[in-house]
Structure 1
Amino acid sequence: MKIGLMFSGQGAQQVDMGMDFYQSLPAYRNLIDQASQQLGYDLTEVAQDESKIKQTEFAQPAIVAMSLAIVQALGADLPKPAASVGLSLGEYSALAAAGAMSFDQVLAIIKDRGRYMQEVGDQNPGKMVAVMGDDQDLIVTTLKKLQERGLQVYPANFNTFAQLVIGGVAADVDQAVDELTAAGIKRMVELPVVGAFHTPLLNEAALRLQNRLADETFQPLLYPVYSNTTKQPFIIDQLKDTLRKQIVSPTYFAQDLQAMLDQGVDTLIEIGPAATLVKFAKKIAPKEVARHSITDLDSFREVQQMLSAGKE
């Protein structure tokens, strides 16, 4: 069994996420309590607050803490993965799980990153739309033509080879939707976000993160973690610059997952509040690749049992 871990990004959060873990798994509860003490607010209260859990500055620490607490709860049942990947925010969970950052360190960074993105997103509101279609070159070319006309609309998330999220200034995204419709794209879905993440609209947040990371020290990775920005495994010596670029650059989750599969990964496990990445994987991975998600206590037990059986 060659395991590839996938860590949920922002947008996966939901009310009451992790509460069944917290009530039933001491190892999970201990790490969440540690995180709450460090953050200065109770993560269990955030998880149960429908308003707060939607806000970037609270959602980001909550998702990372939940993801790493699940890994902690799995403990020795989880063998060393062959590789891992996270979607945007999930890269921080992946990096911490692979040893690049301590739990306290990643939480402190994410507390600030979430605040930067919240504040800059509020100052530069944007819009994001998921565009469904196999011809992603057509989508990218259409956006480039609009940019040449001075419009601020960009490719943001290559989630699968048939789903590309675009983002930018709301009116410019609307113009892109019109152009793409005229070009034959039939299905587009507006996403419930206020900021155009992974576009130049977040430049100020990227600069603030760059300053924030200047004095951080990172440790060698225990196994490869693929970068959404470079489509290659993270290089620790370049980590600060890569994480800065990540905020304003497109994410290439589809390409990262394909690289993991090419490496021989045959079992995918998503960790986080929702099974979003498993759905993406269904569009990318061949049927013989096992796909699992750990989002609640029941799915935790199922995966735990699967891992135990794999060791026998």
Structure 2
Amino acid sequence: MKVGLLFSGQGAQQVDMGMDLYDALPAYKERIDQASQVLGYDLTEVMTDEVKIKQTEFAQPAIVAMSLGILAALGDALPKPTAALGLSLGEYSALTAAGAMDFDQVIAILKDRGHYMQAVGDKNPGKMVAVMGDDQDLIVRVFKECQDKGLQVWPANFNTFSQLVIGGVTADVEEAVGELLAAGIKRTIDLPVTGAFHTPLLNEAAEQLGSRLSSEKFNNLDYLVYSNTTAKPFESQEIKEVLTKQIVSPTYFAQDLQQMVDAGVDTLIEIGPGKTLTKFAKKIAPKEIERLNIGDLTSFEETKAFLEDAAKG
């Protein structure tokens, strides 16, 4: 069995997420309590607060702490992964799981990253829209025409080969959507966010994060972790630079997942709140590839039992 781990990104968070895991699994509880110590506030209070869990500065450390807590609870039931991939924020979970940084380190970084992105996003509000269509070249071409007219709008997330999220200044995004519909795109979905993540509107946050990461030390990776920014595996010496660029660069989750599948991964396990990445995987990975997710106690127990049975042969 060749396991590929998929780690949830921001937007997957839900009120009360992980609380059943917290009550039932000592190793998970230990990780969440450890994160609370690093953050200086009770993370379980954030996870049960409908307002705070939606806010960038709180959601980012909460999602990654949950994901890494699940890994800790799985323990030896999880074989060494062949590769890992996280959507945007989820890259921090993937890099930590593969040994690039330790738990306290990543939580401290995300406390600051979330704060930077929250503050800059509030100062430079924007809009993000998911555009559905198989012809992504057409979408990008329309975008280029919009940019040539001076519109501040950019491709932000290549989630699947038929879903591309765009972002930018609200009025400009709305004008670009009109151009896309006129060009033949049939369906768009407004996303419930106030900032245009992965666009130049967050340049200031990227600069702040770059300064924050300058003194950090990162370890060699234990296995492949694919970068959303470069659409290829991370190199340890490039982690600081790539994570800084990630804030203002489009993500290439679809291309990364395709590479993971092409490399022979036969079991995908999404770790963290929600099932967004599992849904993406259904549109990208062949049917014969096993797709599992762990986001609550029931799915944790089911996946652990699957892994233990597979280990027995």
* TM-score of the pair, normalised by structure 2: 0.99
Residue in structure 2 matched with residue 189 of structure 1 by the alignment: 189
Percent identical among aligned pairs is: 72
CA separation in 1, counterparts of 2:290 and 2:304? 14
Other-structure match for 1:234? 234
Q: Distance in 2 between matches of 1:266 and 1:61?
A: 30
| Match of residue 151 from structure 2 | 151
CA distance in 1, matches of 2:213, 2:149: 35
The Cα of 1:38 is off from its aligned counterpart by: 1.1
Which amino acid is 1:138 matched to? L
The separation in 2 between residues aligned to 1:283 and 1:223, in whole angstroms, is: 25
| Long gaps (5+) in structure 2 | none
- What residue in structure 2 maps to residue 167 of structure 1? 167
Q: Determine if the alignment matches structure 1 residue 43 to structure 2 residue 50.
A: no
User: Amino acid of the residue matched to residue 224 of structure 1?
Assistant: L
Name the residue aligned to 1:216: 216
What aligned pairs does 1:234-253 form with structure 2 within 5 A after superposition? 234-253=234-253
Aligned match of 1:86 = 86
Provide the residue aligned with 2:263 in structure 1.
263
Give the RMSD, CA atoms, in angstroms: 0.4
Q: Deviations over 1:12-52 (max 9, x none)?
A: 00000000000000000011011111101111110110000
Aligned length: 312
Counterpart in the other structure of 2:64: 64
Name the amino acid aligned to 1:201: L
Cα deviation for residue 236 of structure 1 reads 0.9
Q: Deviations over 1:228-249 (max 9, x none)?
A: 0001100111111100110000
How many angstroms apart in 2 are the aligned matches of 1:71 and 1:123?
A: 36
Structure 1 outlier segments of 4+, above 2 Å = none
Match of 1:30 in 2: 30
- CA distance in structure 2 between the aligned counterparts of 1:145 and 1:117, rounded to whole angstroms: 28
Residue in 2 aligned with 1:5?
5
Q: Which residue of 2 aligns with 1:134?
A: 134
Give 1:88 deviation, angstroms: 0.1
**Does structure 1 residue 104 correspond to structure 2 residue 101?**
no
2:282 is aligned to: 282
1:142, 1:245 → 2: CA distance?
Answer: 24
Mapped to 2, the partners of 1:278 and 1:8 lie a distance apart of 10
TM-score by length of 1: 1.00
One-letter identity of the residue aligned with 1:25:
L
